[in-house]
Chain A
């Protein structure tokens, strides 16, 4: 018998299914135009940087200057005030993620527009600043904004990197995130991660009657939007790699089913036209494939379907629960969860379902594996007493616990594979919150969300 078999010809119908739980559509993502080329390519080495040394590097982020203070839809007080806000966003990106020793614009002198490309070196070296970030914002004739970002080494009195972006006023924060990413990537040699978004589930209400809504926000919690109204329970979202779609589970027709929600049109379709319940949706890294899990007569297996519809292929066929799944960055392998051995454990298989092997041999249960975008680690939930976020190598070795709380689960990787978000449930009260921790296990912090939050899914770097 063939391991893989076409389960059924289940076409994705273009017509939207009853979308009674959806709110107004939100703005789709647009790509940011580069204003001038980065003259310094920055460091590109693959070495993991020394986190402690990094945290001793002092970096000043001065208010961004403007050539002339004019009104802008991005800030009620004009482009000069917007310049200060831009620097604040850069400062908070670095500070909140435990990066370097940053000082923000509110505690620093404001450079003039001319000083952006010719820093006042003595004033910065007198403050003991190692690195300096300058920037400017300029209102363009076409209504958009140009934002420039410069990184200087104060000791060397030299420019390390510069970049500029043209953004519509509503995307002004993205320019600041890109500036923070430029600073981070240049100084550490790591890939950027801050100009990205997070999908998650917003929770309100008592423990036995929780309202759970699909919501999205920027990586720093700004631009928060609800996608569903909360009339039916929504769970486990995943952003498509191009940010155009969201996969999530909804009880909108009374049963748990995976939907593909199109962000631009606000319409959604079922992942498969089956009456069986579907769970645990995932994207392939290239966005061409969707993994989902489906229970047939109580037995749950993992299926793969083209993101454009067509037949579903069953990838697992053992009795028991095979669920979840996360692709390796090259798309060749899938790490998933199965209780075929008697308890939840982590397995790996080729992306066509062949060569299934158990990876986790730690004692306790191991669940919700997520492959790092760098490919070098698998994050998961280790259940042995407490529920803890842990990482291991793709071969199953090198177990390291990153958190230790009563119930931490569902890790999701930053686009650069250096930070993990997850959600933490409080014993008894059942309240939930999004948290993040870096790969060293340090810099654990709670993310600000308007209400309780669970099931985070961190998307890739924005276009």
Chain B
């Protein structure tokens, strides 16, 4: 009931904010783990990442396992929808896969607030995936606040990369 209400709200706010585009980072952070795979393909089969690994998920969604947010915001806007649709499709295709959505904030916030904000972003992401048909029980959330930046500078570009929700397959 509550989830459904949240979903409606999210869709409404997504529509309302369709014109207000998220400042997507100019440089995307590297896909976690995606670079280390191709090395030991010895011969015969084109052995890609195994189903059930995060690599398999990241490859399948073409690196769209991360969505980005505006300062202090947690709404899912139109720019994020293709990524979340792609994530949802994957999760519908593989019903045994569970994920954790990690919510993050940039360094320009106070510690406690950023923890709560990261949790809110992770939940907004989760709710959107649920609205697309993924069972809520397969999606965990965790907030890292400002504790785990991927971009290390102290500038708008770095902060935009760090305000993110990352969907990760848990083994």
Residues of A within 8 A of B (CB): 206-208, 210, 212, 233, 235-236, 249, 254-256, 277, 279-280, 293, 295, 297-300, 321, 323-324, 337, 339, 343-344, 367-368, 381, 383, 387, 406-407, 409-410, 425, 427-428, 430, 454-455
Contacts and interface: CB of A to CB of B under 8 A. Distances in A.
Contacts, number: 97
B126 to A, nearest CB: 8
Contacts of B112: 236, 279-280, 293, 323-324, 337, 368
Contacts of B117: 321
A295 B116 contact: yes
Task: Point out which of A256, A298, A428 has the most chain B C-beta atoms below 10 A from its C-beta.
Answer: A298
B124 A298 contact: yes
A392 B105 CA distance: 28
B107 interface: yes
10 A-B pairs with least C-beta separation: A298-B123, A300-B116, A280-B112, A295-B119, A367-B110, A321-B116, A427-B154, A298-B120, A428-B154, A279-B115
A410 B111 contact: yes
A323 B116 CA distance: 8
User: For chain B, which range describes its interface: under 10, 10 to 19, 20 to 34, or 35 or more residues?
Assistant: 20 to 34
A453 B120 CA distance: 27
Given A235-B111, A277-B115, A298-B74, 8 more contacts: A208-B149, A256-B142, A256-B145, A295-B120, A324-B112, A383-B109, A387-B108, A428-B154
Contacts of A383: 109-110
Interface in B110-149: 110-113, 115-117, 119-120, 122-124, 127, 141-143, 145, 147-149
Task: Point out which of A297, A387, A454 has the most chain B C-beta atoms below 10 A from its C-beta.
Answer: A297
Contact of A409 (B110, B122, B142, B145): B110
A381 B120 contact: no
B107 A300 contact: no
Contact of B116 (A254, A293, A381): A293
A297 B152 CA distance: 30
Interface string B147-161: 111101110000000
A376 to B, nearest CB: 23
Contacts of A427: 154
B149 A207 contact: yes
Nearest to B142: A255
A300 B120 contact: yes
Given A300-B116, A430-B152, A410 B110 contact: yes
Contacts of A236: 111-112
Given A208-B152, A428-B153, A300 B119 contact: yes
Contacts of A208: 148-150, 152
A387 B150 CA distance: 22
Contact of B123 (A206, A249, A255, A297): A297
Nearest to B115: A279
A279 B115 CA distance: 7
Given A298-B122, A298-B124, A321 B113 contact: yes
B72 interface: yes
Contacts of B122: 298
Contacts of A344: 72, 110, 113
A343 B71 CA distance: 10
Given A298-B122, A428-B153, A381 B107 contact: no
